[in-house]
Structure 1
Amino acid sequence: MAYSSPYLYFVILYVLVYYVNAFNLYTSPADVGNKSYDFVIVGGGTAGCVLAARLTEDPGVRVLVVEAGGDNHDPDALNTTIPFLAPTLANSAVTWNFTTTPQQELQNRSVAFERGHVLGGSSSVNVLAYQRGSDEVYDRWARVVEDDGWAWKNVRRYYLRNSRIVPPADGHSITGQFIPSAHGNGPVQVSFDNRHDVSNDFVLGAAKMATDTHKFRLDLNAGNFTGTSFLQSSIGSGIRSSSATAYLDPLRIGRENLDVLIGTRATKLISSKTKGKSPSIEGVELGQTKGSACVSVMTKKEVILSAGVIGTPMILQLSGIGPAAQLKQLGISTLVDIPDVGSNLMDQPFAALYWFVNSSQTWDEYLRNTTIEAEDLEEWKTKHQGLLAGASAGSVSYVRLPSNASIFKTVPDPSAGLESAHVEMLYTNGFSRLGLIPFPDKGNFMTVEHVVVSPTSRGSVRLNSSDPFAAPIIDPNYLSSEFDRFAMMAGIRSTFDFLKLPAFKGFIGEPLVDLQLDSGSDATLLGYIRNNTVTVNHGCGTARMSPVGADWGVLDPNLKVKKVNGLRVVDASSIVLIPETHIQAPTYIIAEKAADMIKSDYRLR
């Protein structure tokens, strides 16, 4: 049988991956236990793959990446490559399947807290939105950590180094959909809606007539992150573009100074302590299952934790780096007392609402009809086009609360500045099954997903026991602050006002759920929010940066763990204040900057 070009691509890639002597892919810790490495990177996720690629550009440097999940080319990971199926990856083999503690403000519900468990990490399983946030995000980071190196003028080059705009799968012209000068020429491919979704036509048409918070902005990634625009997503040629596909896959040919070990966890950092001096991290213990023998791997220069917002604070605490009192309760000897480890968990709560629409051009029938589903899957397999070649959302709004909003009488504005939003709205051309509302048997829908992007609620990640294979205690404390509840309600009311614009006439019907917004009471709206809020999975901050010498924080501005030597953290846990956007692109920026800092420290090429 003749192979179509996409099938041929995967056949060739399979041969290159498994039969060409490229980077070394291992499945057992025993394969690496007797080797010598300059750097051990714990976590092959969004940041870890970037570091692996950049540090091994110097052929004299040997690097080991340790990933708890599997290979991104394993059969279990196939759906990670299909953009439209991103929301279906929850509770699958490629995610950690964490859940939170019961959340008081969510009617004591526990919610899924998904993180990637595969090469590429969360960049392999997220909903693909590629947005860097406003310039103000990075300028505020620089002020808070007292290091101008984090200001936008100094990190812009890392954003440009990371990604590039490519045509969408359907090949339509994207002239007039973005500002070319605002984008770079990096390995992560970024594109736009490829299906000409009818909902996007109405949303963007209305935005171009709006004069208030929802007004049209051509390119949010040009620096001002308020208004309504085309959604940019990490997709190239109808395939997800992740850190694994963009940074790691090209190294499967000709990067023999890189070893990648999959299916393996870091159980503990190996340290030595000289009297009167700070302890040094010299390696890491690796294991695959509870009770299995651990293998020690030593490093000449650094261990770099890129295990993410959950994994990084867990490994630190398991190694005796964290709040001394809590570690003592678990029988873990304290190496250094850093109370902030695992604290300051920030995440963005998310609530979806649904409207009936007067159109048959939504993708609701795909969800109801297995024949259509099979046809669309075949179209993606043979052409990498059609419904499955795009993200579920194609347009987005970032909205600020009015400056005279009553909440600001008692609560300071938590955003990074006037070009940063408080609430995000994602628009999808059908019923998006991301919340708790069941999918109706009939009807066509537009979903609007509301995200509080400047939350003030703070939570934590703590060990449940000294067992490195035990699930942690994750408490994001969603909607615990008055501001977060106010902002979610204000954002939803803003959407209702936006959908009343004349541009939506004849398209938008009634909402699926009557929130009684005209009753003069917030009770029904707040009840809906508490019953239906989940997370958009943007957790960060559990090993946050702080100024040199500060008595708070976990890292210095160079991402080095305080009070120890030879240990750095490079992932979203390092973020000091949550950016008012999706955290994929900011995490890439952190990783690219970290690679340069490490190269400078050790005079690498």
Structure 2
Amino acid sequence: MKKRYDYVIVGGGSAGSALANRLSADPATSVLVLEAGRADFLLDPLVHMPAALMFPAGNPLYDWAYETDPEPYMGGRRVKHARGKVLGGSSSINGMIFQRGNPGDYDRWAASPGMEEWDFAHCLPYFRRMETRRAGANAWRGGAGPLHLDRGPATSPLFQAFFEAAAQAGYPHTDDVNGYRQEGFAPFDRNTRHGSRWSAARAYLRPVRDRRNLDVTTLAYVTRLTWSGTRVTGVNFSRLGRYHHVEADEVILCGGAFNTPQLLELSGVGDPGVLQAAGVRPRVELPGVGENLQDHLEVYLQHECLQPVSIAPWLRMWKAPYIGAQWLFLDSGVGASNHFEGGGFIRTNDDVAYPNLQFHFLPIAVRYDGSAPASKHGYQVHIGPMNSDVRGRIHITSPDAGVRPSILFNYLSTERDRREWVEVVRAARHILAQPALAPFDAGEISPGPEVSSDEEILRWVAQDAETALHPSCSAKMGTDDMSVVDPSSMRVHGTQGLRVVDASVFPTITNANIYAPVMMVAEKAADLITGSTPLAPEHTPVFKADGSMPAYPPGDPRNNSWDAPTELPSAAQAEAQHPALARHTGGA
């Protein structure tokens, strides 16, 4: 490691891995990545075996194990947040579900002043640049990028019954939720390749680790930025009990929605009142640091299964050696899938322009972290509002970098959020009650049929919901008074030599898993940072539920068929067509 670099990237997670690759492509540019976690050893099955995804959460070797302050609208519960403690960051321990979000998410970003070039047309070419989609490239999808994507087979009897049930409820199949039309149900893309997790570190860092101008240092915990006036000159970090300093022309924070605002505040960037209360001298006044924090909260609707077709038997410990050997030597078997192979997106009310509910279907009844698995065969859907108006915050409480920040999401704190929670539970029950699932359905085991009124649903959500692990938006891009990052350069407002590239810069959370948007932001940011000519916008048509675009891509012959809908029903509309099912779900 040298004493000075052109770029020091703080965080070797998802965005940091992508930036390290792109910025070091110029051999005249020196790049250092400082990752607080450890290496992602290739022989570690808990990182690289897709089916092992439940084991790293809560394990101090893999997970930083954050938790919130007592959440006031959830009975004072503290909600645990797993964050990757390994090269590749959370992309090395997440569920490997690859979702871009809806095109409307990015058009919503672009509606704010200064954000015009973050609309979907400007983001699409970066999504395409980063992908190699096994199913092939087209106008919406990429075919030559570092991120390899496999489509979930979703061919088991339970998946097929779930898709048919969605159709019976009035929600059709879509060819690709990351393509022309997100709304509908389909097998999901997963960031896996040859039966192994394809993390950001494997996709972007490992292929270029031999570049002479790129250094990657793990177990390096950055404690402060160093300054000359309002210019950042480098970073201080600790490693194996020793303290170090390295200088840089540019420091790029890629620590994520928790660590980026924490490091900004420790270094004197933020709301002066917050900083002074924590014992830090203010240097740059930016009241938006740590504010606007957003996430997806989710619950599991679980059913017992009448037929022995779930993957429950594979959880028996004596089968682990066989699963491991099949995965290690044949790149196949139960271990080679994340088992979140399909799902879908719907609108739960007529007020939303695009889906506000995502379904992840899982052919087993088990919690995400593997705890309390059902003893019998079962299946479940993971659900929660995708575009909640709830806002939280994250702030330091001490000048000591080793003290965890105070985190509060304010889950369930708004009237709209509570209303949508009732809608999403009823919408999921409506689908799970369809005839296609009847041969498998032995009854709802969580929350159970006794939870039926609005009040009972909200009480259950408050007691049982978990984070979907999508913290974001805590150092947002924009030009208003609460913005932290300049959207045209990724520079922190009021500073020089300091940029942010990670999920914290989202203005609002996307309506799906956030890994893919984080990687798109990193790809686009790389061009902004290096001054490269940005990729030209691609005005590729996408489906819109207002009827302005057909159900299928323009020119597709299915648009002429008698059963091709031009607008998908909301859950309320579908339920109105089936009043018996409304009674089953506890509807009014």
TM-score relative to the length of structure 2: 0.87
Provide, for residues 542-563 of structure 1, a one-character-per-residue CA deviation record: whole Å limited to 9, x for no partner.
110112xx22211111211001
Q: Secondary structure at the match of 1:161?
A: helix
Amino acid at match of 1:197: S
Amino acid at match of 2:373: F
Q: Secondary structure at the match of 1:37?
A: strand
Question: What does residue 530 of structure 2 align with?
Answer: 599
Residue 135 of structure 1 and its aligned partner are, at CA, apart by 1.4
Question: What does residue 394 of structure 2 align with?
Answer: 461
Map residues 174-189 of structure 1 onto 2, 5 A cutoff: 180-184=138-142, 185-189=144-148
Q: Secondary structure at the match of 2:112?
A: helix
Q: 2:278 aligns with which of 330, 342, 365?
A: 330
Query: 1:498 aligned to 2:466?
Result: no
Change (3 A) 1:207 1:602: closer
Q: Secondary structure at the match of 1:247?
A: helix
Does structure 1 conserve the Cα–Cα contact (< 8 Å) formed by 2:224 and 2:263?
yes
Amino acid at match of 1:282: T
Residue 147 of structure 1 and its aligned partner are, at CA, apart by 3.0
CA distance in 2 between partners of 1:48 and 1:334 (Å)? 27
Query: 1:426 aligned to 2:360?
Result: yes
Q: Give aligned-pair identity as a percent.
A: 30
Change (3 A) 1:454 1:223: farther
Amino acid at match of 2:357: V
Does structure 2 conserve the Cα–Cα contact (< 8 Å) formed by 1:345 and 1:458?
yes
CA distance in 2 between partners of 1:480 and 1:120 (Å)? 33
Residue 515 of structure 1 and its aligned partner are, at CA, apart by 4.1
Does structure 1 conserve the Cα–Cα contact (< 8 Å) formed by 2:8 and 2:33?
yes
Does structure 2 conserve the Cα–Cα contact (< 8 Å) formed by 1:210 and 1:216?
no
Residue 159 of structure 1 and its aligned partner are, at CA, apart by 0.4
Residue 374 of structure 1 and its aligned partner are, at CA, apart by 2.5
Unaligned runs of 5+ residues in structure 1 are 1-31, 167-173, 274-278, 404-412
Residue 180 of structure 1 and its aligned partner are, at CA, apart by 4.2
Question: What does residue 43 of structure 1 align with?
Answer: 11
Residue 439 of structure 1 and its aligned partner are, at CA, apart by 2.7
Does structure 2 conserve the Cα–Cα contact (< 8 Å) formed by 1:321 and 1:341?
yes
Q: Secondary structure at the match of 2:178?
A: helix
CA distance in 2 between partners of 1:286 and 1:74 (Å)? 26
Question: What does residue 485 of structure 1 align with?
Answer: 418
Does structure 2 conserve the Cα–Cα contact (< 8 Å) formed by 1:352 and 1:435?
no
Question: What does residue 327 of structure 2 align with?
Answer: 380
Change (3 A) 1:118 1:518: closer
Query: 1:85 aligned to 2:52?
Result: yes
CA distance in 1 between partners of 2:260 and 2:84 (Å)? 14
Change (3 A) 1:208 1:471: same
Q: Which is worse superposed, 555-564 or 44-53?
A: 555-564
Question: What does residue 561 of structure 1 align with?
Answer: 492
CA distance in 2 between partners of 1:553 and 1:293 (Å)? 35
Map residues 301-316 of structure 1 onto 2, 5 A cutoff: 302-316=250-264
Question: What does residue 351 of structure 1 align with?
Answer: 299
CA distance in 2 between partners of 1:477 and 1:349 (Å)? 11
Provide, for residues 36-56 of structure 1, a one-character-per-residue CA deviation record: whole Å limited to 9, x for no partner.
210000000100010100011
Amino acid at match of 1:541: C
Does structure 1 conserve the Cα–Cα contact (< 8 Å) formed by 2:169 and 2:430?
no
Map residues 56-455 of structure 1 onto 2, 5 A cutoff: 56-73=24-41, 77-92=44-59, 93-166=61-134, 180-184=138-142, 185-194=144-153, 196-211=155-170, 214-253=171-210, 255-273=211-229, 279-288=230-239, 292-300=241-249, 302-367=250-315, 369-403=316-350, 418=353, 420-434=354-368, 438-441=372-375, 443-455=376-388
Does structure 2 conserve the Cα–Cα contact (< 8 Å) formed by 1:191 and 1:233?
yes
Change (3 A) 1:280 1:182: same
Q: Secondary structure at the match of 1:53?
A: helix
Question: What does residue 556 of structure 2 align with?
Answer: none
Provide, for residues 334-392 of structure 1, a one-character-per-residue CA deviation record: whole Å limited to 9, x for no partner.
1111111011110010111210122212111122x222233212211221211110112
Residue 505 of structure 1 and its aligned partner are, at CA, apart by 2.7
Amino acid at match of 1:501: Q
Q: Secondary structure at the match of 1:90?
A: coil
Change (3 A) 1:79 1:200: same
Amino acid at match of 2:121: K
CA distance in 2 between partners of 1:444 and 1:130 (Å)? 27
Q: Which is worse superposed, 461-470 or 372-381?
A: 372-381
Change (3 A) 1:223 1:145: farther
Equivalenced residues, count = 531
Question: What does residue 529 of structure 1 align with?
Answer: 461
Unaligned runs of 5+ residues in structure 2 are 535-588
Change (3 A) 1:385 1:74: closer
Q: Secondary structure at the match of 1:544?
A: coil
Change (3 A) 1:602 1:465: farther
CA distance in 1 between partners of 2:269 and 2:451 (Å)? 53
CA distance in 1 between partners of 2:192 and 2:17 (Å)? 17
Amino acid at match of 1:110: R
Amino acid at match of 2:327: W
Q: Secondary structure at the match of 2:160?
A: helix
Amino acid at match of 1:80: V
Amino acid at match of 2:474: T
Provide, for residues 145-201 of structure 1, a one-character-per-residue CA deviation record: whole Å limited to 9, x for no partner.
4332211111211101111222xxxxxxx6xxx884421021111112247332211
Provide, for residues 416-463 of structure 1, a one-character-per-residue CA deviation record: whole Å limited to 9, x for no partner.
xx2x3212111101123227983333x210111112211111111111
CA distance in 1 between partners of 2:318 and 2:449 (Å)? 38
CA distance in 2 between partners of 1:427 and 1:593 (Å)? 32
Does structure 2 conserve the Cα–Cα contact (< 8 Å) formed by 1:142 and 1:151?
yes
